[in-house]
Structure 1
């Protein structure tokens, strides 16, 4: 019987000397990530107009030699950048949980999500952190984003409801925060909350439902603060596993937030049916959904 290797996370490069860091930025890197896009993502964080952060990058499983070379070059140049590695591909949720735990030693105030193929606007961190500093009741802050293709050309946008009331009200129908844009107050994690590491996708959706049930306050900024990479296989990646997990999340939201309605149930069933159709139909439905969401939010 084949034994599965035990999961081990190791910090392989760290030069931070201070005892306190206000913000932890966390990003995971995987085997098939493109070096060119990872470079753009890292540069977009290191060149922020806000500076009081540590940027931890978790190598989740095997990566190419060229990626290793790129990451080593960055850690030599900027002491804010920390490299960690997991010996197996253990998934985004587990990687973010490790980053959260690692960051605890600096008693930070904020935790920032970043993805390896996206580009943060130069004012992303300053905009979100300044907002959270002046709105103490908000625990999770997201933003709108623009969608770009493989070549960096704008192909769309994703705007979410801004108020806590709307964000929670719409949770049984959709994940109402753009995960790569969120900044989370560290108190959320100090209270014991973590991503569900057993989930290999939709971990953010389940996390928001858990936090909403506990009464944490959400907000989305109208500002577009990130360029999200929508690649050609974006629609194909929304496969059966993710579709079923989204379906489960919608019913969990209905249950936990007491929002069982005919509309919400019909929406969950309808989206699951659409997700299982050919990618061309999924692509059309996705674009239609963006249009309807924009119209709903304007009214």
Structure 2
């Protein structure tokens, strides 16, 4: 497997382990879940464990899908079941605590990881020890798996930091973290539900923890009919402004940076037709 990395002395190389974490809830479209699971277990990189948190899931078809997906894959699946709904952020933190991998990779239950996604991210992180987390570019797809947008992101750490107030610099489910990342930055903060990733990046940049995006399209991010609705609203605009305010204050940015606090209100409180237009420029 690692021969493709051109490793000369195989006896001195230990293949790292990757924990892929995912939360699943009752509202998931079972068709999309099957595709997500299939994409995980058919990665070219094989030294993985898959940690799935079922968040108060009652549907038997979901449980059957998850259990069936692990058939023939050497019991790589670790399943955690919440007896009551705990929410997305709590599920992520629970999966991270349970993980044993050298790397922790995100994955959403209705998306698709392209076959060499994990392999390429591991290769990059193995060769760039100063980077603690790595995202990728992604294709946005509709409910029929058709590509509707190619979402490229800032690549270097300096670009990420420079663009933070303008847009979310990562596509959250494409991220792969070193285990040490969460020791340095801390876990996801449940106070910032729906903005938990953006707040985490704020702490990351403040603490000087290095991150980059791999400039390759390795992920398919599903945009369903409720996509814009989930990302809009006054409460989310307030949370966004609080995160930006913290970033400006902690990074000692000049006063004109506070103008960026206005952006979330425009984007997140606008009527849906306008929010769709703004979305291409202001992800969060």
Structure 2 length normalisation: TM-score? Answer: 0.88
Q: Matches of residues 32-181 of structure 1 in structure 2 within 5 Å?
A: 32-78=27-73, 79-103=75-99, 106=100, 108-181=101-174
2:219 maps to: 226
Q: How far apart are residue 197 of structure 1 and its match?
A: 2.5
Q: 1:258 — aligned with what?
A: 252
Maintained 8 Å contact 1:75/1:82: no
More divergent stretch after superposition (187-196 vs 113-122): 187-196
Greater Cα shift, 93-102 or 143-152: 93-102
Whether the 8 Å contact between 1:44 and 1:122 is mirrored in structure 2 is yes
Give 1:296's aligned residue.
none
User: Equivalents in 2 of 1:267, 1:287: separation in Å?
Assistant: 17
Shift of 1:234: 1.1
Aligned partner of 1:277 among 267, 270, 274 = 270
After superposition, what is the alpha-carbon deviation per residue over 1:200-239, rounded to whole angstroms, capped at 9, x for unaligned?
2110111111111111101011101100001122111123
TM-score (norm 1): 0.84
- Contact kept, 8 Å, 1:32 with 1:63, in 2: the verdict is no
CA displacement at 1:288 relative to structure 2: 5.4
Q: Higher mean Cα deviation, 80-89 or 203-212? A: 80-89
Structure 2 CA distance for aligned equivalents of residues 27 and 183 of structure 1: 13
Q: Does the residue aligned with 1:198 lie in a helix, a strand or coil?
A: helix
Distance 1:155 1:32 in 2: 23
Kept in 2: contact 1:163–1:220 (CA 8 A): yes
SS of equivalent residue, structure 1 residue 138: coil
**Higher deviation after alignment, 83-92 or 149-158:** 83-92
Change (3 A) 1:87 1:192: farther
Q: Please state how far the C-alpha of 1:27 moved relative to its aligned partner.
A: 0.4
Aligned to 1:195: 188
Matched-pair contact (CA < 8 Å) for 2:167–2:281:
no
Unaligned runs of 5+ in 1: 1-19, 291-299
Query: Is the Cα–Cα contact under 8 Å of residues 209 and 256 in structure 1 kept in the other structure?
Result: no
CA contact (8 A) 2:135 2:213 kept: yes
DSSP 3-state at the match of 1:82: strand
| 8 Å CA contact 1:75, 1:83 repeated in 2 | no
Root mean square deviation, CA, Å: 1.8
Deviation at 1:192, TM superposition (A): 6.7
Name the SS of the counterpart of 2:190 in structure 1: coil
Q: 1:163 to 1:21 in 2, by over 3 A?
A: closer
Q: 1:85 to 1:198 in 2, by over 3 A?
A: farther
